[in-house]
Amino acid sequence: MSVAGQCWQTSQPLNKKHNTIIKSMFPAGIERIFIDLADIPQPNNNVDNNYVETVMNYMPDGMRYWQNDEGEDHHLLGVMGQGSTVNHLLMCKNINAIPLLCLGHSEERQSWLSRNPINHVTFLEQFCKGLAHYLRNKMGFTQAHLEIFNEPKKCIPVSNYITICKHMSRGFKQYPNFKVHVGSNDIEQDLAGYIQEIVKDKELLKTIDYYATHVLWERQHDQGYIATVNNILKGTNLKQSVTEFSPDGDWDTFNELIENNIEIYCILFVLRRDFFGDVFDDIYVFTREDRPNLGLKSGDIISFNQAKFNMLVAFNNKYYNKQLPIEKEGIKLKKIYKNGSKSMGVTFIQKVLNCDIDIDLNPKLKVDGWFGAKTEAAVKLFQKHFNITQTGIVDEKTFKIMMFNEPNLFDELIYDISVSK
């Protein structure tokens, strides 16, 4: 079960013509969207869901400062100003794509977080938790992916990166179908140090899903790099994703993806502005540019390569046209838990409330399976933290948040939720 997609997509996200082309090339695909941490304002108070929603609703084009070797500004995401990230998420909804949000810090800018935000891991964890809530409950995504920094080897020591990944992944993985990618360097750089350290950290391996690699340049093709990474990942729970991929003139390199059972790959610059230069020109299907002197408006399709379009459609339909599997989200409650309830389900609830140190709750409840006044008060505090109605009753919504927040406890616990006791 695999899925293809595009990286740094440069189309206009609400342009129906562009959406039709993208969906034809990448059925049920992935859209890799960059969010620049330098754009995130320092919060005055707690990082709650309202703060994160406000930030996301007004998040501008994350790539707008990125330039080519001649210093030309590319605006690669194609939409400037407020709400551009929201527009791309709406496009994902329109074409049935899974958003892959790459949170990183642009190379051209300074911010309060810095490019090596090791001193702000608590904020990053809280932000990622709110981001998951926003994607699921505000935008309605049942599947979403987070990529932790783009090319972190440039600015973050691997020990710092591992710590950052632990916090961000713990924050983001609030739902079973929300996945995390780490690594995200040029593949030979990963093999020169990053990946070996990451697979040693057993605690981190429990919280992440993919080791992301970039395979772009001719020097990276036909070197066995993808297979080498897969061999290193054997014995872990990680799969390899290729979140930046280009054949770079050698279209046979797609076979590397097939041979190594790559579940997710994102092709770089399939749709792009025409003055990007001669890098990766082998792959683009169409270009667009706002050139008033030629009478061309932004969004116009200036050149369209039917042969390349046909190749991508044929390849993706043959090998990568299936959506990623959707995991079950746990047992559905057939009853609610409230003051007076007695069951093993209450035992689980009490254990979660006692150990949830991430939200400073820890009411020191007696774990006895009885739902009393102290348990009810602790449930209300838990609900307050997650911005849900403070009823003191553990209904399906509250129970699922508990289940996702402490998955290890849930896995260890055997209980019957179908029969009231």
Q: Tell me the C-alpha to C-alpha distance, in Å, between residue 130 and each of 116, 136, 182, 350, 387.
A: 21, 10, 19, 24, 11
pTM of the predicted model as reported, rounded to 2 decimal places = 0.74
What's the CA dihedral at 263, 64, 22, 132 to 10 degrees? 50
Q: What is the DSSP string of 50-101?
A: HHHHHHHHT---TTTT-B-TT--B--TT---STTHHHHHHHHHHHTT-EEEE
Q: What is the CB-side half-sphere exposure of residue 335 using CA atoms within 13 A?
A: 14
Evaluate the CA torsion angle 286, 291, 293, 296 in order and state its sign.
Answer: positive
pLDDT at 77: 39
Rounded to 10°, the helix 344-355/396-405 angle is 50
Reduce the DSSP state of residue 240 to 3 states and report it.
Answer: strand
Whole-number Å distance between alpha carbons of 262 and 268: 16
- Comparing CA positions, the residue from 283, 393, 386 lying closest to residue 50 is 386
Q: How many residues does the chain have?
A: 421
Q: What share of the chain is helix, strand, coil (3-state, %, to 5)?
A: 40, 15, 45
Element (H or E) spanning 288, and its range? strand 286-288
Q: Which residues in the chain show pLDDT less than 50?
A: 1, 68-80, 275-281, 290-296, 357, 407-408, 410-421
CB 365 within 8 A of CB 374: yes
Whole-number Å distance between alpha carbons of 127 and 117: 13
Q: What is the CB-side half-sphere exposure of residue 146 using CA atoms within 13 A?
A: 30
Class of the domain covering 344-412: mainly alpha
CATH of domain 3-319: 3.20.20.80
Reduce the DSSP state of residue 16 to 3 states and report it.
Answer: helix
Residue ranges covered by each domain of the chain: 3-319, 344-412
